[in-house]
Structure 1
Amino acid sequence: MVIKAQRAIIRKPGSFDVFDFEDFDIGKVQDNDVVVKMNYAAMNHLDLWVRKGLPGVTYPIVPCSEGMGVVVARGKSVNSLKEGQRVLLSPGIGDYLSEDYGIHGETCNGTLSSHLKQKSNLWIPLDDSIDDRVAAAFPLSFLTSWNMVVRRCNVKKGDIVFIWGAGSGVGHAAGQIAKLHGAKIIGTARGSKISKLDSGFWDLLVDPKVDDVVGAVRNFSSKGVDIVVEHTGEKTWKRSLSILKRNGRLVTCGGTTGPIVKINLPHLFIKNQMIIGSTMGSFEDLKNQILPRVSNGDLKVLIDREFDWKDIAQAHQHLEESNAIGKVLLKIK
């Protein structure tokens, strides 16, 4: 079978004009391969970093880590999936705790392609309880957040969890996951973004542009918070440590405002605090813990906007200017 396809590609890092589209042959379908006609890809801040030039990335590369579509071909050894079946792709490849763990769109070609061939064990079947847009939008941000809040910080009932960027993919997911486990949640959002969030869901929403974040948190909980979910970095780091209570845990998965931070070591060890790094999460959690909760509505996916995949440059600009509330989708036609 010859499958002609098209994909977006970044040949070298740069600004919004680096994207190109090329025709390609999907190649021979090996015994354990599955070929999927992609319907949607979804964007994350990782895509911005890859576009600008992320150390360790080999160019040219196809962007985006998340996506879903319909099976159109499979190798002779694949019995778990069938042609016509809707599937989503695991954003990660391999054991997330190992040194050779990979991420689509960073360590190998991503999902912004009309057709995608990948091994059968990386595709997860979908039932009718979840639609295409939601299926494409949740995997990376919810997997990252689940690992941060549940696996790394062991959130429990009664914990107070502070989350930067309540309207971001990771922030919105982390708030829901913490709430699902019985925690109280404090989030930040700027200006009009607060009105677009469910204020009844969050125990406290703070606008860091006009509010005193540390003061607001101390008014809510005089001793501070048990967990801080950090993915912003340099501009928020000092305040994150200021609001963390004794024996608290700060978990970080990124640094969107800058990667270099300072730590006052006596403050850290005298208060017996923990700073925890976290990247992605397990395939098993994605399939068995998160997907069922998204499908039944326990976890809700916030979608900001949908772009045609050929408008990838505009989508990047929209996300980079911090205009997004939730996930940005790319419709593949």
Structure 2
Amino acid sequence: MRAIVHEGKEGFEGLSVQEVETKTIKADEVKVKVHTAGLNRRDIAVVTKRHKADDPALIPGSDASGVIEEIGEEVTKFNVGDEVVINPGLNWKEKSDAPPEGFEIVGLPFDGTFSEFYTCTEDHVELKPEHLSFEEAGVLPLAALTAYRALFTRGNLQPEQTILLPGIGSGVLTFALKFAKAVGSRVIVTSRSQDKREEALRLGADAAIATESDWKEQLSAEKVDMVIESIGEATFNKSLGIVRKGGTVVTFGATTNDQVSINIREFFYGQYNLLGTTMGSAEEFQEMLRFVSEHKIKPQLDRLFSVEEYKEAFEYLRDTKNFGKIGFTMEK
């Protein structure tokens, strides 16, 4: 089968399209013929952090939609022909305060979804929401799950609250925008790009400001209850400075420096809540799929690439050219 493989060289130079062996399924496994596989920033991190030339070959990718082509003899949940999506999390079944020991994400250290077929146990796939195309469903899992847990499990977002999304444009934040609007919250976004601010307003954002502006001045009339922070050092203190006293900052990533400094006295006098989050459990993945189906939410699909355009796709996401999700069409 064809697959995008990383081996031999550091970073994007180690990527190539190869013919690799199709795995034989075990009794409790299913083989999915992949239609669309979403590309995430995690995939960029995976291929840029594998620095050893002798690292074993790896197929990246955490997201996928497709059709079950073969089932093991012990499989009971699915039948051949079922349309499914991949749960990108491994070994995290029930909702909990933090991932359990042994939690992993599809695509490292085990082979991921950037291949014609993906094999896994039956409890790591779910039926595709009926209102989504394969292209939409294939870019849904990781980003939508991350947004869902950040907003609802960790942040406990309520309909009457106002939420700020700095750096709108990523897959996670476009889902966060749509999810928050679906429950009736007020949503404010920031971006350095005027085009992305305007696009966010078209998607339903209530206000959009420039990331480099003075947020306190721009939002002086707003009471921000929650900030979803994924930028890191460049905006972290601006996020703390704009959230109301007693409000909440939920962080799941850092596209700028991981290290931040805060005034701890201002923090505790302000009674702020700072919450970390990452991905989500199988239980939350199922909750998210039901939420998406109930509200007929679709991913903001920016662009799909062919397998042969793998380098262009990785560079496109690295350079933050996307507004929403991108992915690969794996079928020939």
TM-score (norm 2): 0.91
For 1:200 and 1:76, locate their aligned partners in 2 and report how far apart those are by CA, in whole Å: 45
1:229-248 paired onto structure 2 within 5 Å:
229-248=228-247
For 1:198 and 1:229, locate their aligned partners in 2 and report how far apart those are by CA, in whole Å: 18
The amino acid across from 2:326 in the alignment is: V
C-alpha deviations, 1:227-281, integer Å up to 9, x for none?
1101111111121111121111111000011211112110111111111110111
The amino acid across from 1:191 in the alignment is: Q
1:39–1:68 contact (8 Å) kept in structure 2: yes
For 2:254 and 2:70, locate their aligned partners in 1 and report how far apart those are by CA, in whole Å: 39
The amino acid across from 1:52 in the alignment is: T
Match in the other structure for 1:65: 62
1:287-306 paired onto structure 2 within 5 Å:
287=286, 289-306=287-304
Cα deviation for residue 44 of structure 1 reads: 1.1
Match in the other structure for 1:277: 276
Cα deviation for residue 134 of structure 1 reads: 1.2
Match in the other structure for 2:20: 24
Cα deviation for residue 137 of structure 1 reads: 1.3
Q: Cα gap change, 1:169/1:55 in structure 2, threshold over 3 Å: closer, same or farther?
A: farther
Match in the other structure for 2:80: 83
C-alpha deviations, 1:92-122, integer Å up to 9, x for none?
0111620211101133211001111111111
Q: Cα gap change, 1:232/1:13 in structure 2, threshold over 3 Å: closer, same or farther?
A: farther
Aligned residue pair count: 323
Structure number with greater CO (CA < 8 Å, separation at least 6) is: 2
For 2:251 and 2:200, locate their aligned partners in 1 and report how far apart those are by CA, in whole Å: 23
For 2:105 and 2:8, locate their aligned partners in 1 and report how far apart those are by CA, in whole Å: 19
Give identity over the alignment, percent. 25
2:10–2:51 contact (8 Å) kept in structure 1: no
The residue matched to 2:179 in structure 1 has which SS?
Answer: helix
For 1:60 and 1:204, locate their aligned partners in 2 and report how far apart those are by CA, in whole Å: 46
For 2:167 and 2:149, locate their aligned partners in 1 and report how far apart those are by CA, in whole Å: 18
The residue matched to 2:204 in structure 1 has which SS?
Answer: coil
1:84-103 paired onto structure 2 within 5 Å:
84-95=81-92, 97-103=99-105
Match in the other structure for 2:137: 135
Match in the other structure for 1:151: 153
Q: Which of 104, 111, 136 is the aligned partner of 1:109?
A: 111
Q: Which runs of 5+ in 2 are unaligned?
A: 93-97
Match in the other structure for 2:47: 51
The amino acid across from 1:162 in the alignment is: L
Q: Cα gap change, 1:206/1:89 in structure 2, threshold over 3 Å: closer, same or farther?
A: same
C-alpha deviations, 1:130-186, integer Å up to 9, x for none?
210111111111111111111111111221111112221111111222223332111
The residue matched to 1:133 in structure 2 has which SS?
Answer: helix
TM-score (norm 1): 0.91
